[in-house]
Amino acid sequence: MAISNVAGNPGEKTLLLGNEAIARGFIEGGLRVAASYPGTPASEILNTLINVGDKYGIYTEWSTNEKVAAEVAISTAISGLRSMVSMKGVGVNVASEPFQAFSYMGTVGGIVLVSADDVGMHSSHTEQDNRFFAREAYLPIFEPPGPMGAHQMAKAALDFSEKWGQPVMFRTTTRIGHSAADITLGPVQKTKEKGEFKRDPNRWVNLPVNARRMRRELIERMEKIGEEVESIPFNQIVAEGDGQFGVISCGVTFNVVREAFKDLGLGDKIGLMKIGTPYPLPKKMVQQFLASNERVLIVEEVEPFVETQVKSLAHEGSLSTQILGKEHIPLAGESGPREVVMGLSQFMGMEPPNRFERADRIWKEAQALIPPRPPVLCPGCGHRTAFFAINVVEKKLGLKKEGGIVKPSDIGCYTLGYQSPLNAVDTNYCMGSSIGASSGFSHVIDNKIVCTIGDSTFFHSGIPPLLNAVYNKADINVVVLDNSTTAMTGFQPHPGVGTTATGQDTKCILIEDVARACGADTVDVVGSLDLDGLVEALEKAVNTSGVSVVVARQPCVLLDVRTRLKKGEKIKKYQVDQELCTKCELCLNLFGCPAFRKIDDVIDVDLALCNGCAACANILVCPQEAFKEVD
C-alpha cells in the first residue's frame, strides 16, 4: 500500500496498519528471517516484510504450513540470528509441536512467534486464546494494546527473547492487526547476513536424557524472567485511584477501558493497571495493586487468563481484595466500548449510559429492513462452477433420493460453497480435514462422497490424508479446487504456483502429479469453467471405486481479470436476452452469480460486476440459453 511507508526514515510519521507496525517493529529489531503461512488476521505481517525485505536484508518465505514456518524460524534463531514466525491463531495448533520442544532448548538469537488470535471470529472457526498455549509451552507473552504499542513491543520482544535465551509469543488480535494509526518510525538495527551453527547435540537433540535436564533449566530460566517483567515498561500501575475500585487491563482492552473511564466520568477515582506481559505476570506489582484496592475488575478478552493468575496471586499473598472479571466482561466475542462500559458500570454499581437504548431500537428496526450480506464466491469464480457441477451430477445420477452426496469441504474461499443457493459444503473442521473426514465417512455410511479442497490447503495438509485414504482403501472422490493462488488471504503463492514469496521463479509442483504419486486410482484435470467437462469427470469419478481425484483448475478470477486488463485485453461480458428469458429464475436459484439481479421483474446481469466467465451461457445454468455475449 503506497499510502503507508513501512520503509521510511527514522522520525518519519506514517499511517501503518497494526500488522505493518508489527513488521516495522521487527525490522527495527534487526530481523533476519521471517516465515509464515497466510491466514487472516496475520497475513499482512509477512506481506509487508516481503515488500521491503531486500532493503533490510531479511529473508522471507511463505512456508507450506505453520509447522514448517516455525522450523525455518527456529533454525535461524539457533544459528544466532533473529527471526519471527507469524500465523493466525488457529495456525498455532499446527506449529505447536516444534515450539513445545524448542522452548526446552532455549534460543541463541531472538525469536518471536506471532499468534494473531481472531477474537470475534471475523474469519476463523475458533476464538481460541493462545495465551494458554504459550503458558503451557513456557513462552513469555507480549500483548500490545494497539498498533502503536505493537510497533514498540515487536522490537522489544526480539530483544527480550535474545537476552533471556527464550522464544517469545507476541499475541495480537484482529482488532489490533487491522487497525491503523499514525506511527513514528524508529531507527533500524542492521542484521548480519550469515549466522553460525554451534554444534551442541546435548542441547539441539531432544532425546529424553537431554530434555529432562533442559526442563529443569527452563523452569529456572522462567523464574528469572518472572523477576525481569516487574521492571519492563509494558507493565505499569497507571493510576492509583482512591483505594476503593481498581481495574487491571490486558491487551487491546486497555485503551477501551480508558475511554470507558471518561465516558462514565470516573476521572482519577479509580485505579488502573496495565498488563503487557500476561505471562509471566509481574507478581509483586500485581500484589501491590491488589493490596491498595478493595475491589478489582480484570478486563481482558476471551478467557480469564490474567484473572485466574491474579486470583492465585491474591491467595498466595493472603490478600482479601475482591477480584472480579468474567462476571462482568464477556467470555465470547470482542470487548468493545459497549461491553466494557456495561461491565464497568455493573462492577461500580452505576447506571449504564442510556444511549445504547436508541442504538438498540435502531438496530432492531434496521434488521427488519435489510437482508444479511454474507461473503460469497466472486462473480466468475471457478469454485462456483465446480460446486454447481457437483450438484448437477448429484441430481443427474439420482443420488438425491439416497440421501445425497456427502460433501466435506475445507478452509479457503471455497468454504463459501456453503452459502445458498449452492449449499454444497456439508462439513468442515480444520485445514486439510476434507480428505480425512471423507475417509472416515466412507467406512461407515453408504452415501457417495465428494469432498472439496483448495490448492494451497492441499499443499498445507491435504497430502497425508490423501495417502491415508489410498492406504486404508477408502472409496472417496476428491475435487481439488485449484485457483493457483492462496486467494482469500490476498493472493500469496504456494508450491503449485511456480514463484516464491519474493516473485522468483521456482519449480511448479502439479497437484495431479502429487495425487498420482500418492496412489490415487484415477486422476483427471479439468478447467473449472468447463461445466460439461466437470460433469463428465465427476460422473466418472463417482462411478469409480477407490480414491478418485479431479483437479478443477482455473486461475482466481480477480487475479486473472487484473492480469488481462493490464495486458490491454478486453473482458467479454454476458447479458440476458430478454426475448429468450422466461423468468424461471433457475439461474438465481441454482447458480447464484452475484452479478445476476432481478429488478422490477426483469432478470439481468450487472455488467459492472460481471467478470466474463461465460458459465451462464451453458445450458445447465440457463435452459433457454438466454445469456449472450455483449458486443
For another protein, the binding residues in 179-198 under the rule CB under 8 A are: 179-182
- DSSP states along 319-379: ---EEESTTTS-SSS---HHHHHHHHHHHHT-PPPTHHHHHHHHHHHHHHH-------PPT
Q: Where are the alpha helices (DSSP H) in 399-526?
A: 433-444, 455-461, 463-471, 511-517
Write down the least CB distance from residue 7 to another protein, Å.
15
337 binds another protein (CB under 8 A): yes
Options 29, 89, 440, 592; binder of another protein; rule CB under 8 A? 592
1 binds another protein (CB under 8 A): yes
Number of residues this chain uses to bind another protein (CB under 8 A): 73
Options 132, 197, 363, 471; binder of another protein; rule CB under 8 A? 363
Helix 147-164 vs helix 208-228: crossing angle, to nearest 10: 130
Options 205, 209, 219, 359; binder of another protein; rule CB under 8 A? 359
Q: Quick one: how far is CA 107 from the chain centroid?
A: 26
Write down the least CB distance from residue 277 to another protein, Å.
22
User: What distance in Å separates the CA atoms of residue 300 and residue 252, rounded to the nearest whole number?
Assistant: 8
Question: Which residue, 511 or 558, has its beta carbon nearer to another protein?
Answer: 558
Residues 490-529 within binding reach of another protein (CB under 8 A): none
Residues 197-216 within binding reach of another protein (CB under 8 A): none
Number of residues that make up the chain: 631
Write down the least CB distance from residue 146 to another protein, Å.
7
Options 165, 336, 352, 527; binder of another protein; rule CB under 8 A? 336
Options 341, 450, 511, 610; binder of another protein; rule CB under 8 A? 341
Q: Is the peptide bond before 353 cis (omega within 30 degrees of 0)?
A: no
333 binds another protein (CB under 8 A): no
Question: Which residue, 209 or 630, has its beta carbon nearer to another protein?
Answer: 630
Residues 257-276 within binding reach of another protein (CB under 8 A): 258-259, 263
Three-state DSSP state, 365: helix
Write down the least CB distance from residue 299 to another protein, Å.
13
Residues 550-579 within binding reach of another protein (CB under 8 A): 558
Q: Copy the grid coordinates of residue 218.
A: 527452563
Residues 26-45 within binding reach of another protein (CB under 8 A): 40-41, 43-44
Phi, psi of 314 (to 5 degrees): -65, -40
Q: Which residues contact residue 190 at a Cβ distance below 8 angstroms, ignoring those fewer than 6 apart?
A: 30, 57
Question: Which residue, 194 or 373, has its beta carbon nearer to another protein?
Answer: 373
Query: Quick one: which segment of 23-31, 64-72, 229-237, 251-259 binds another protein (CB under 8 A)?
Result: 251-259
Question: Which residue, 121 or 467, has its beta carbon nearer to another protein?
Answer: 121
Nearest CA to 503 out of 73, 40, 54, 71 is that of 54
Options 98, 110, 325, 379; binder of another protein; rule CB under 8 A? 379
Residues 470-489 within binding reach of another protein (CB under 8 A): 487-489
Around Cβ 186, how many Cβ atoms within 10 Å?
A: 16
Residues 52-111 within binding reach of another protein (CB under 8 A): none
Options 190, 194, 199, 373; binder of another protein; rule CB under 8 A? 373
User: What distance in Å separates the CA atoms of residue 74 and residue 609, rounded to the nearest whole number?
Assistant: 45
Write down the least CB distance from residue 326 to another protein, Å.
20
Write down the least CB distance from residue 62 to another protein, Å.
17
| Alpha-carbon distance values, 379 to 90, 139, 391, 594, 612 (Å) | 29, 45, 18, 6, 8
Write down the least CB distance from residue 486 to another protein, Å.
12
Say if CB 174 and CB 120 are below 8 A apart: yes
Q: Copy the grid coordinates of residue 347.
A: 462492577
Query: 3-state secondary structure string, 500-536?
Result: CCCCCECCCCCHHHHHHHCCCCEEEEEECCCHHHHHH
User: What distance in Å separates the CA atoms of residue 288 and residue 303, rounded to the nearest whole number?
Assistant: 24
Q: Quick one: how far is CA 411 from the chain centroid?
A: 11
620 binds another protein (CB under 8 A): no
Options 203, 269, 540, 597; binder of another protein; rule CB under 8 A? 597
For 224-260, give one letter per residue: b (16+ CB within 10 A) or e: ebbeebbeeebbebebebeeebbbbbbbbbbbbbbeb
Question: Which residue, 174 or 321, has its beta carbon nearer to another protein?
Answer: 174
User: What distance in Å separates the CA atoms of residue 530 and residue 545, rounded to the nearest whole number?
Assistant: 24
Say if CB 183 and CB 147 are below 8 A apart: yes
Question: Which residue, 1 or 319, has its beta carbon nearer to another protein?
Answer: 1
Question: Which residue, 132 or 363, has its beta carbon nearer to another protein?
Answer: 363
Question: Which residue, 158 or 377, has its beta carbon nearer to another protein?
Answer: 377
444 binds another protein (CB under 8 A): no
